[in-house]
Amino acid sequence: MTIVERFLKYVAFDTQSSEETGTTPSTEKQRVFAQYLKEELIREGLQDVVLDELGYLYATLPANTDQPVPTIGFIAHIDTSPDASGKDVKPRIIKNYDGQDILLSEGIVTAVEKFPELLNHKGEDLIVTDGTTLLGADDKAGIAEIVQAMVYLQQHPEIQHGKIRVGFNPDEEIGLGAHHFDVEQFGCDFAYTMDGSEVGEIEFENFNAASAKITINGCSVHPGYAKDKMVNAARIATELVGMLPPNETPEMTEGYQGFFHLTHISGTVEQAQLSFIIRDHDREYFESRKSEIADIVEAINEKYGNIATLELKDQYYNMREMVEPKMYIIDIAQQAIKEAGMTPTIKAIRGGTDGAQLSFRGLPCPNLFAGGLNFHGPHEFCPIQSLEKAMMTIVNICRITAQKTV
């Protein structure tokens, strides 16, 4: 099976996670895909294949050398984002992309003007959607690359490598992917998540992240007689949003700039709910942002009389402080990318990965490119050449690690 065939098989599975269920995995359809992957890993010759009751899948490719070599891991997540449907994905391959706008389906166009990154892949073969769902390269591209690399290494026994561990987990997209990851049982000296985007990217800085859920309880009265009686929760919810800095949203920020992101708002006169995610690379600014949203809720309560409650939860932190003491793992990744014919690019993640949480649990785990772009929406695409380069990067990391004394 080629890496493209493998990837297309994977995206046929609907694995969207959910913030609402409170279960692990958050959706049963993730478990269905995990069971398929378990059977596939066994067929492909991996050992110690274990799928636990929470939907975490682990496997081993044994070392083919007697020399002492660090045990390394490769990790990807099973779920796709709740932001867009992942059901009935209909991928299409555009051969030798010509650099023009892409018509996904009637009235739905991926325009070069809006998505200029397309031009970086002119002449390549692009896997796109039909415009009604996301594609699922985040992170089924990563899974396909890891599995294909394990197959490649078995087909090429002349490539020496140490023990390699593979881990696939649920619920990364809702910030819970690493919560039940068994770091001790995984047993690696270091690992890489394959969850980045553009070819050649290495990421070992990420946002500090928190979620904020606000509930506003109002009082409904006939609008004709509402003077000094009605408390309109839905209207107050919009007032609260207006109290946040208007230029500190995802669509207004870039680079190291943090933001407040309103991900959900609903309500009636009686009650309204708002959900935010809070992000910043700088820990001090991050703490300041959490204080700012708490102060706004307090101001609403002072104005209207204790009608709002705030649930604020930290999700993950910037992994840089945990990776920096072992920068040789970044050096290995850079060499591997160069030997796969690319220029390595180190950049900060405007987001997070499971590797951030795993790094703070004792498993240094930077993030590498998986090749997909425009994640979480119908304009997502993945060049086939990027899949292949990411797969060879994994192979190179395994070989280089076996050659080095770490």
Residues annotated as part of the active site: 79, 172
5 Cβ contact partners less than 8 Å away, ≥ 6 residues apart: none
Bridge partner residues of 346 (DSSP): 202
* Tokens read off for 214: 């606000």
Closest CA to 256 of 248, 266, 246: 248
One DSSP character per residue, 93-107 reads EETT--SS-EEEETT
SS (H, E, C) 1-13: CCHHHHHHHHHCC
Beta carbons of 401 and 363 less than 8 angstroms apart: no
- Residue 363 to residue 206: CA distance in whole angstroms: 16
Q: String of b and e for 165-196 (b: at least 16 CB within 10 Å)?
A: bbbbbbbbbbbbbbbbbebeebebbbbbbbbb
- Residue 63 to residue 401: CA distance in whole angstroms: 12
Closest CA to 178 of 18, 54, 29: 54
- Residue 128 to residue 124: CA distance in whole angstroms: 12
Closest CA to 149 of 402, 400, 398: 398
Number of Cβ within 10 Å of residue 261's Cβ equals: 16
Beta carbons of 399 and 65 less than 8 angstroms apart: no
3-class state of residue 405 by DSSP: coil
Strand pairing of 345-348 and 201-205? parallel
- Residue 99 to residue 107: CA distance in whole angstroms: 19
Exposed, middle or buried: residue 221 (CB in 10 Å: 0-12, 13-18, 19+)? middle
